[in-house]
Amino acid sequence: MTPMPQGLLFDLDGTLVDTAPDLARATNALRAHHGLAPLPFPAIRAQVSNGGSALVALALGLAPEHEAHAEARQFLLDAYGQAVAEESYVFAPLDMLLQRWEALQRPWGIVTNKPRAYAAPLVEALGLRPGALLCADDLPVKKPAPEPLLAAAQALRVAPSQCWYIGDHVRDMQAARAAGMPAVAVGYGYIEEGDDYLSWPADLWFETCEALVEALQPAIE
């Protein structure tokens, strides 16, 4: 049985915050720049966790090694950076859980593969106050390497074994396992078609945000 955590660590996009609307806006701005019609939101949402390069490949069919890929990716990121929190929001009822968690002075943080230039303004705009924020460019390695999770746990002063890492991608589970943390998979995030989150190497699996929050209730009662 997985014990209740002393600290919480979250992936950002698709786990703690629904950032897909703003990333979809930027992706379709790139499409419009090339004279293409907008893509449907569900198609973009499924690729958000894979980062800017995946969104460029989706939008324009340009592989990362294509000579035009880097310029297109920068256009997309610039468009996104102009309004990182226009439509993004913390998944409910995680927002209420975090309020109670903080009221009990429990530590929590974020470990993301999003660059700090976009993650930090997003976190600030949403009024979030994580005790640790580890981004893609803070260390020489990123998830699925365990080092960002370990650095975050150290910043929170919580033993890795007492800290849940919650994410919506298999690399999140791989990073948590490598860090010696309980790996918690959520099925409500940005999961590609055909990818079964129940097959990921996790300790706990939750289909909805509500189910995740319900499972954490004993830790805040």
196 is catalytic: no
88, 21 in Cβ contact below 8 A?
yes
What SS3 class is residue 216?
Answer: helix
Q: List the catalytic residue out of 11, 18, 22, 172.
A: 11
Report the relative pairing of strands 89-90 and 132-134 from DSSP bridges.
unpaired
95 is catalytic: no
For 129-194, give the DSSP string.
--SEEE-TTTSS--TTSSHHHHHHHHHHT--GGGEEEEESSHHHHHHHHHHT--EEEESSS---TT
What SS3 class is residue 92?
Answer: coil
Active-site positions?
11, 13
